[in-house]
Structure 1
Amino acid sequence: MAPGDAVIRAARLAALLTAATVTVAVPASAHAATFCDRPAEINASEQDRQLQVVAAVRDELDRIGGAAVLVSRSGTDLSRFKIQYSHSGIALRDSRNGPWSVRQLYYACSESQARLFDQGLAGFLLSAGNTAPTRMSLVALPQNGGDRLAEAALDNRLALALLSPRYSANAYTFSTRYQNCNQWVAEMMAFAWTPHAAASSASASASASASASASASASESASPGAGTAIAAPTRAQAQHWLAALGYDPAPVVVPSHAIMFAAQFVPLIHTDDHPVDDLYAMRLRVSTPAALETFARRQWPRARRVEFCAVDRRIVVRRGWEPLGADCRPGEADEVIPLI
């Protein structure tokens, strides 16, 4: 296999390992271009289809209510890996960026570091580019769980304290060396849902607060939230709480050694944070949208999942934890919304 082919395959595998799309148009380097370029332009018909999905999702969010909802979307076609969602964020009813704006981590390529972004639902879905089918899922939390997650996510100082500027598409779940988009969400959940987490984080080091302050000055895209007096935790604390809460993502099986080889050439893929045994087994523990949804359900058994899938000339809406199949064929209990 030529080195160029290996890089291309690694880019695809990085998407498998939950690489986020980014909002910066100018890539930091030629190697990073695969990750950094905006998605391909979509035609007016496709854009209209995606906006109709967004309208259906917004209607559902308004019915659900609550302060925070876990949202996930499709992106790069990962069907060969039987993975349908690649990117998650926290939709916040009371975001100052607008109702149900999604707070999430993206890799800002022009700055060569990760940042937090607040993005409306339309931008959240449209940033995935042209996907077929188009998928979005929501996990609605009971009031206590949603309120606690919203309070944490809207606190800029706290949200930035759990942000690492060092991005890796395949970041290991229990290492602070790197971070990917879904890992930030997982750590926010851990802080919000761990009993007495706020009290136990009062002893967080002053360096964490200083880091959060520095990140805030460099992350103007994170809109001001409902600030609280909660002490800023460290990522190590958040991962300790994740483990204590039983967070255990199903391993992502890497189908070839290409990703290990190509990590030498692609700066957004790393293997030096993963346990050696996992590398040899080609089974990497990485935070994915599916892992986040499973975690949310475990913590809050009354959480509800709603899935939207636009295919052909219809949107299939499924309420329940049994996911739609690859072809999004509706079941008897599913709602079908004709696309206009």
Structure 2
Amino acid sequence: MGRLFPAAPAASLAKATATVATALAATLACTLPAQAGQACADKPLTATEVVMSMDLAQRTVQALDASGAKVALVSRAGQDLSRYRLRYSHMGVAVRDHPAGRWTVVHELNECGSAASHLYNEGMGNFFLTDLYRHEAQLVIPGPAAQDRIAQLFATRTPQRMHEGHYNMLSYVYSTKYQNSNQWVLESLAAAMAPPGQVETRGEAQAWMRSLRFQPLTVEVPAATRLGGRMFRANVAFDDHPFDRRMAGQIDTVTTDSVVRFVRMTDPDAKTMVVD
């Protein structure tokens, strides 16, 4: 299914932050390569943006270490979604003791605005080394019991089984036709939190969430916006949504807020914090 790429070296984000300004100041007249799996960037990051992203990564790791967590959900603000009453755009699962390195972020990424996605293992620095709209992170720290279950799940191949390579930025929460990056997190969490053996596939994850009467946040997308998105963007489709909801502009997709809602529903011991 997805191809997992190794994380960037996790050693000493503090040192990286301290040295990146001098190292890049002389070289950033040249371009930085686009991050694997990201939408194609129109312009390279500036030296200041790189330093700010690395600093955010360092502070995020410090917050995770201070929390004593084994796993956490980490969200970034890659674009302005305030018109949809959303603050964060993209979420991954941070695993402290990952084979690829301490605090590796496992997440699904769309391939350069195409209709495809893959799973990646990345260090915290790489996770934030993108064109951020806001240099701020949200952390969701599950309770101890939930952390154990999630950590155990991410030591298996279940997260890969939960991945669907046909990407749709606005995929319907209860369809397996497409998947967006936050939906992969949600369905992987469902596999971890459901009774053992009950969730092994995406369809089973969605059935279990339905049994809990889980509803995501609805995004209102006007008809003109839907038409333009479908015609001009390969990574946007609406044909997996119920016809009546689609025609009314009610798009029930999975956002970072939807995942947080699910965590609070299934894990009363979970805590949320902001790194700014």
Q: How far is 1:39 from its partner?
A: 6.3
Residue identity in the other structure for 1:263:
R
- Equivalence for 1:166: 166
TM-score (norm 1): 0.67
Aligned to 1:190: 190
2:150 maps to what in 1?
149
Match of 1:63 in 2: 66
Query: SS of 2:88's equivalent?
Result: coil
Unaligned runs of 5+ in 1: 1-20, 25-34, 202-232, 310-340
The residue type equivalent to 2:208 in the other structure is: W
Whole-Å separation in 1 of the counterparts to 2:234 and 2:114: 14
CA deviations 1:85-134 (Å, max 9, x no partner) are 1100100011111111110001234996221101111111112x142x31
Decide whether the 8 Å contact of 1:22 with 1:109 is kept in 2.
Answer: no
The whole-number CA distance in structure 2 between the counterparts of 1:109 and 1:305 is 30
C-alpha contact (below 8 Å) 2:114/2:235 kept by paired residues: no
Q: For 1:52-91, what aligned pairs fall within 5 Å after superposition? A: 52-91=55-94
User: How many aligned positions are there?
Assistant: 243
- For the 8 Å contact 2:115–2:235, the answer to whether it is kept is no
Alignment of 1:54-133 (within 5 A): 54-109=57-112, 113-127=116-130, 129-131=131-133, 133=134
Q: Distance in 2 between matches of 1:122 and 1:39?
A: 21
Give the partner amino acid of 2:135.
T
Please provide the CA RMSD for this pair.
2.0
- Alpha-carbon deviations, 1:28-55, whole Å to 9, x = none? xxxxxxx731463222222212222222
Verify the 8 A CA contact 2:93 2:107 in the aligned structure 1.
yes
2:12 alignment partner in structure 1: none
CA contact (8 A) 1:95 1:101 kept: yes
Q: Report the Cα offset of residue 267 of structure 1.
A: 1.9
Separation (CA, whole Å) in 2 of partners of 1:54 and 1:184: 22
Structure 2 unaligned segments of length 5 or more: list them. 1-33
Query: Could you give the per-residue CA deviations for residues 278-308 of structure 1, whole angstroms, max 9, x where no partner exists?
Result: 1121010010001111111121112111112
Rate the CA distance shift 1:110–1:248 in 2: closer, same or farther, 3 A: closer
Report the TM-score when normalising by structure 2: 0.82
Contact kept in structure 1, 2:109 and 2:181, CA below 8 Å = yes
Q: Report the counterpart of residue 11 of structure 2 in structure 1.
A: none
2:218 corresponds to 1:246: no
Name the CA shift for 1:264/1:42 in 2 (closer, same or farther; >3 Å): closer
* Cα contact 2:84–2:219 (8 A) shared by 1: no
Letter in 2 for 1:143: P
> For residue 137 of structure 1, what is the amino acid of its counterpart?
Q
Map residues 294-309 of structure 1 onto 2, 5 A cutoff: 294-309=261-276
Question: Which residue number corresponds to residue 235 of structure 1?
Answer: 202
Q: Does 2:236 match 1:269?
A: yes
Give the corresponding residue for 2:15: none
Please state how far the C-alpha of 1:235 moved relative to its aligned partner.
Answer: 1.1
Aligned sequence identity (%):
30
CA distance in 2, matches of 1:280, 1:150: 40
Give 1:218's aligned residue.
Answer: none
The answer as to whether partners of 1:194 and 1:245 remain within 8 angstroms in 2 is: no
